[in-house]
Amino acid sequence: MLSVHTSPLEQAGTGDAGGMNVYIMHTAVEMARRGISVEVFTRATTSEQPPVAELAPGVLVRHIPAGPFEPLGREELPAQLCQFTSGVLRTEAFHEPGYYDMIHSHYWLSGQVGWLARDRWGVPLVHTAHTLAKVKNAALADGDKPEPRTRVFGEEQVVAEADCLVANTAVEARQLVGLYHADPHTVHTVEPGVDLERFTPGSQRAAREKLGLPSDAIVLAFAGRIQPLKAPDVLLRAAARLLERKPELARRLVVLVVGGPSGTGLEQPQALRQLACTLGIEGQTRFLPPQGGPMLAEVFRAADVVAVPSYNESFGLVALEAQACGTPVVAAEVGGLPVAVAHGVSGLLVPSHSADDWASALGSVALRPDRRAELAENAVHHARRFSWERTTSALLDTYAAAFHSFRDVVRTEVAV
């Protein structure tokens, strides 16, 4: 597996670490459980990282030096792809030919490396985009920067060269075909999963005690990277609007924001705190750094509603994790979120990002205990439809299809 810009060893929720890290970690570990050895190549970001680290039995993470030993913005990484590719090819050269059977690249930067390695090693390339520049640029938050043309061209190249493309949802599959002219026969839809052993229902009161929250609070939670794309400001504006409508909630309302600055959010890391002050809800807003799996589950259990107001999501793992904990989700009706959230069953989908619409949706769940209880029960059942075991099985089927497709191409070329 290739993951140039972020490592599965990193804590999701800050920097460039997010759902993709979780996806790679869980699918790699599940493959290893089934007897498949996995090596994940990622860029070294500090000199203290070992050249090779074991993520789990059968899963190695290789840190490849490429550029300075420090985190780099995604816009800086294309200049390091030559050195990264050299490190990947050099690693393979120490083994007998045919050591690697398959390449699975994650995100377009990795796809560029995978394309070259595929041609050198003579093995199939499976690619997962995770996000698409053309889709993101069509749904930018106010003031956010569009993805550069370099990325658009790079994605088009990878789509044209990959033997198989993995889309998170049928919507993304259609986007690959319609916007990037992918061959429909190469596109396979594989829905991500959720760790159903870690994210489980639990005591809301106990979770609130661990987080220092009042037992009688009305808790609206956001978990994710703090950047315009993820739109945590929408939650704050909606909370302020909810207080305008019902001033008596001021004593009980808690807006819990969990995550760290990322992407263009790094340019103004205090912007969200300043917005809370401007809206007059600084007393109701609490900020926590990114939380590891066990504590993240407690965050979800503590909440009455988890908000996912993103402008674009290829799937939305946070929405699935929250529902697995028995917490309803109010999410934007974008990207893969209509798959992750069953509207009116496990949560609500909001077709806009207006404060009024979001205040109404959040209030209709958080302020109606009977409605919330119904959605919570359904949320657990909905989330159980997804698992990393299911995702991994579908990925292995895709790998088999890639093998057959690749062999057919090779036979045709040899015949010609």
Residue ranges for the binding site?
5, 16-21, 74, 107, 131, 151, 225, 230, 291, 300-301, 303, 313, 321, 327
Q: Whole-angstrom Cα distance, residue 235 to residue 318?
A: 15
3-state per-residue secondary structure call for the chain? CECCCCCCCCCCCCCCCCHHHHHHHHHHHHHHHCCCCEEEEEECCCCCCCCEEEEECCEEEEEECCCCCCCCCHHHHHHHHHHHHHHHHHHHHCCCCCCCCCEEEECHHHHHHHHHHHHHHCCCEEEECCCCHHHHHCCCCCCCCCCCHHHHHHHHHHHHHCCEEEECCHHHHHHHHHHHCCCHHHEEECCCCCCCCCCCCCCHHHHHHHHCCCCCCEEEEEECCECHHHCHHHHHHHHHHHHHHCHHHHHCEEEEEECCECHHHHHCCCHHHHHHHHHCCCCCEEEECCCCHHHHHHHHHHCCEEEECCCCCCCCHHHHHHHHCCCCEEEECCCCHHHHCCECCCEEEECCCCHHHHHHHHHHHHCCHHHHHHHHHHHHHHHCCCCHHHHHHHHHHHHHHHHHHHHHHHHHHHHC
Annotated binding site for Mg(2+), which residues?
300-301, 303, 327
Annotated binding site for 1D-myo-inositol 3-phosphate, which residues?
5, 16-21, 74, 107, 131, 151
Q: Residue holding tokens 């075909």?
A: 177
Residue 148, sorted as left (phi over 0), alpha (psi -120 to 50) or beta, turns out to be beta
Annotated binding site for UDP-N-acetyl-alpha-D-glucosamine, which residues?
19, 225, 230, 291, 313, 321
How many residues would you count in the chain?
Answer: 416
Q: Whole-angstrom Cα distance, residue 341 to residue 350?
A: 11
CB atoms within 10 A of CB 9: 16
